[in-house]
Structure 1
């Protein structure tokens, strides 16, 4: 995406494309999410980390609680 594209539009595009591809590759997802009729939540989080090395950021993310 060009740098001037709003982050919300980028996230919306990524969610839309990934949802379509996942539904094509795994048709059983349609049955599982038939009530919500959407695969992803409407929300998202974006953050930046300018100081620590990527290995530290990755370690932090991996140590977060997993959704139930």
Structure 2
């Protein structure tokens, strides 16, 4: 059996605020590589075929506000 240990530099803050989230993002940003050139381009909606959304899911999404309450 393998004993996997996870080490974290900071404890998980599940009740964090926006300032904490911004700090987490700032600490992670140096680890993300930005590609020189995008690998793919957006696909026009006219080329998307065969996507089916169940009516229940569509109604749920339609009932959600766009910017939160």
TM over 0.5: no
More helix by share: 1
Q: Which of 1 and 2 has greater Rg?
A: 2
What is the TM-score of this pair, normalised by structure 1? 0.20
Larger relative contact order, structure 1 or 2 (CA cutoff 8 Å, min sep 6): 1
What is the TM-score of this pair, normalised by structure 2? 0.20
